[in-house]
C-alpha cells in the first residue's frame, strides 16, 4: 500500500511539474500514507506563469500561496461547475432543456479564479456563457438547473432561461454580444459615484472583443477612471470563427490601447486569482480601468446546436483536455504536495455528483411556472395593470 501510494505520488508529481508548478517542500515527498488530516500540508507556494503586460511596469506576483482549505474549495467549485454543465448537456439532449444552452466546461478556472480575487460585495457581469458565474456569484445548482428546465423554482422563476440568470451584484447572463460591456462600466460608474469601494468585473469573449461598443466603453471608463476590470475570456473561437479570422489583432489584452492590460493562462486558477487580485487593487486605488485577457478553452461547441468540430479538430480538444484541464491541474498540484488525498478528492467528487443529481431531480420534477405569472414583472413599483392577451377579449393581470 505504502509503495503503491509512493508510486502514484511520484507520477502525479511528475505531471504537476509539467504543468509548471514547482515543489517547495522536499519533505512532502516522504509523507504518503497519511490517514489523518493533520498530516496534510496546510499550505504550499506555487510558481505561476508570468503574465504578458501592456502599459504596466509590474504585474501580479509570480508565486501563489494556496492553503489546503482554499484548494479543496476551488476544487469543489470547479468540479461542481463541470458536473453541472455536463448534466445540462444530458438534459438538453433529452429535450428537457430547450432553446439556447451555452456550456462552460473547460473554462471553470476563470469563474472560480475571478471570484476568489474579488468579494461578493463587488459586482460582475458577463455574456451568455453564464452558468458558472451564476454559481460563483451565489446561485445554487438547484436554482440554476431549474431555470434551465424552465420551472418555477428557477433562479428567474423560469422566465429567463439559460442566458438570463441574475443574483445580487450579478447582472446576468446577457444575450446580445457585447452589450454587457457598457453595462458593466455603468455599474462601475455607480460604484464610484456611491463611493462604496466596490468594483465591477465586466466579462466578454474573443468574439465580442471586436464590438464597437466595447471601444466606446474603454474610452469612457478610462476618461472617467471607472473601477472596472474588463476581462476577455479568449477561448479561441467566436461561435464557428477562429480568432485569426475575426480579429486584425488577437492581442486582446492590448486592445484597450490606453488601458493597461494583462494576458494570462486562464486554465490555471491560481494565475487567474492572482491577476484578479492585482487588477482589483489597481481599480480600488483609483487608477481607473484595467484589462485582463484569460486564455482559456471550451470543450463543448458554441452552444448545444453546435457540435464544435466543424471548425476545430477533435485532436485539439483532446490535447487541451489532457494537458491543460483546469481541474486536473489543481488536483495534481494538491496531490503532489500532499495537500489532500486521492480518497478525499474522490469523496468530493461523489458529493458533487450527488448534489448535481439532486438538483437535476428537482429541476425535472418542479412544476412549470403558473400561468398567473405570465404578465408579472413588466414594471417595478407600479400599481397592478391590465395586459392585452392574444385577442381583445383577453385581459391579463400584471403586478410588479
Partner 1 sequence: MFLRHAVWYYHAFLYSILRYHVTVRDALNQALDEELERDERVFLLGEEVAQYDGAYKVSRGLWKKYGDKRIIDTPITEMGFAGIAVGAAMAGLRPICEFMTFNFSMQAIDQVINSAAKTYYMSAGLQPVPIVFRGPNGASAGVAAQHSQCFAAWYGHCPGLKVVSPWSAEDAKGLLKSAIRDDNPVVFLENELMYGVPFEMSEEAQSKDFLLPIGKAKIERQGNHVTLVSHSRMVSLCLDAAAVLAKEGIECEVINMRTIRPLDAEAIETSVMKTNHLITVEGGWPQFGVGAEILARIMEGPAFNFLDAPAVRVTGVDIPMPYAKILEDNSIPQIKDIIFSVKKTLNV
The closest alpha carbon to 300, from 81, 46, 135, belongs to 81
**Cβ partners under 8 Å of residue 276, min gap 6:** 113, 114, 116, 117, 118, 201, 229, 292
Among 244, 371, 381, 383, binds partner 1 (CB under 8 A): 371
Stretch that binds partner 1, among 14-22, 39-47, 93-101, 319-327 (CB under 8 A): 93-101
Site string for partner 1, 165-204 (x = CB under 8 A): ---------xxxxxx-------------------------
In sequence order, the 6+-apart residues with CB closer than 8 A to the CB of 3 are none
Q: How far is the CB of 246 from partner 1 (least distance, A)?
A: 4
256 binds partner 1 (CB under 8 A): no
Report the residue number, 154 or 266, with the smaller CB distance to partner 1. Answer: 154
For 144, which DSSP code?
H
Among 247, 267, 334, 359, binds partner 1 (CB under 8 A): 247
CA gyration radius, the chain: 22
The answer to whether residue 375 forms part of the interface with partner 1 (CB under 8 A) is yes
Q: What is the dihedral sign for C-alpha 354, 359, 362, 363?
A: negative
The three cell numbers locating residue 117: 480575487
- Interatomic CA distance for residues 184 and 202, integer angstroms: 5
Q: Which of 126, 134, 136, 210 binds partner 1 (CB under 8 A)?
A: 210
Nearest residue to 68 (alpha-carbon basis) of 19, 29, 28, 105: 28
Any contact of residue 212 with partner 1 (CB under 8 A)?
yes
From the CB of 97, what's the least distance to partner 1, in Å? 8
Residue 384 lies near partner 1 (rule: CB under 8 A): no
**CA dihedral (323, 328, 329, 332) positive or negative:** negative
Residue 309 near partner 1 by CB under 8 A:
no
| Residues 129-168 contacting partner 1, CB under 8 A | 147, 150-151, 154, 156, 158-164
Q: CA 179, CA 356: separation in Å to the nearest integer?
A: 31
Binding stretches for partner 1 (CB under 8 A): 98-100, 147, 150-151, 154, 156, 158-164, 174-179, 207-208, 210-212, 238-241, 245-247, 310-311, 368-369, 371, 373-375, 378, 387-394, 396, 398
Amino acid at each position: 500500500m505504502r509503495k503503491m501510494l509512493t508510486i502514484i505520488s511520484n507520477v502525479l508529481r511528475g505531471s504537476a511539474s509539467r504543468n509548471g508548478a514547482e515543489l517547495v517542500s522536499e519533505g512532502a515527498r516522504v509523507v504518503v500514507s497519511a490517514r489523518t488530516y493533520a498530516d496534510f500540508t496546510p499550505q504550499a507556494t506555487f510558481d505561476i506563469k508570468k503574465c504578458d503586460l501592456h502599459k504596466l511596469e509590474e504585474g501580479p506576483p509570480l508565486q501563489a500561496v494556496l492553503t489546503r482549505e482554499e484548494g479543496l474549495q476551488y476544487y469543489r467549485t470547479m468540479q461542481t461547475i463541470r458536473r453541472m454543465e455536463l448534466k445540462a448537456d444530458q438534459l438538453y439532449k433529452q429535450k428537457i432543456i430547450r432553446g439556447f444552452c451555452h456550456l462552460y466546461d473547460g473554462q471553470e478556472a476563470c469563474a472560480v479564479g475571478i471570484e476568489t480575487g474579488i468579494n461578493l460585495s463587488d459586482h460582475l457581469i458577463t455574456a451568455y456563457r453564464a452558468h458558472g458565474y451564476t454559481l460563483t456569484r451565489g446561485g445554487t445548482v438547484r436554482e440554476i438547473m431549474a431555470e434551465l428546465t424552465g420551472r418555477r423554482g428557477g433562479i428567474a422563476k423560469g422566465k429567463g432561461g439559460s442566458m438570463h440568470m441574475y443574483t445580487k451584484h450579478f447582472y446576468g447572463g446577457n444575450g446580445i454580444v457585447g452589450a454587457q460591456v457598457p453595462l458593466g462600466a455603468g455599474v462601475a460608474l455607480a460604484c464610484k459615484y456611491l463611493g462604496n469601494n466596490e468594483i465591477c468585473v465586466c466579462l466578454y469573449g474573443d468574439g465580442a472583443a471586436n464590438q464597437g461598443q466595447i471601444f466606446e466603453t474603454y474610452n469612457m471608463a478610462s476618461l472617467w477612471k471607472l473601477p472596472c476590470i474588463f476581462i476577455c475570456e479568449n477561448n479561441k473561437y467566436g461561435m464557428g470563427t477562429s480568432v485569426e479570422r475575426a480579429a486584425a489583432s488577437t492581442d486582446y489584452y492590448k486592445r484597450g490601447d490606453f488601458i493597461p492590460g494583462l494576458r494570462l493562462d486562464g486554465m490555471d486558477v491560481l494565475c487567474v486569482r492572482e491577476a484578479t487580485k492585482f487588477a482589483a487593487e489597481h481599480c480600488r486605488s483609483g487608477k481607473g480601468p484595467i484589462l485582463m485577457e484569460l486564455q482559456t478553452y471550451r470543450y463543448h461547441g458554441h452552444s448545444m446546436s453546435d457540435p464544435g468540430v466543424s471548425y476545430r479538430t477533435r485532436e485539439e480538444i483532446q490535447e487541451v483536455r489532457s494537458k491543460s484541464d483546469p481541474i486536473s491541474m489543481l488536483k495534481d498540484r494538491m496531490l503532489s504536495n500532499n495537500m489532500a488525498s486521492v480518497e478525499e478528492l474522490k469523496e468530493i467528487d461523489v458529493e458533487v455528483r450527488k448534489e448535481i443529481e439532486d438538483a437535476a431531480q428537482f429541476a425535472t420534477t418542479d412544476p412549470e411556472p403558473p400561468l398567473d405569472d405570465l404578465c408579472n414583472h413588466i414594471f417595478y413599483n407600479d400599481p397592478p395593470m391590465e395586459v392585452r392577451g392574444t385577442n381583445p377579449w383577453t385581459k391579463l393581470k400584471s403586478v410588479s
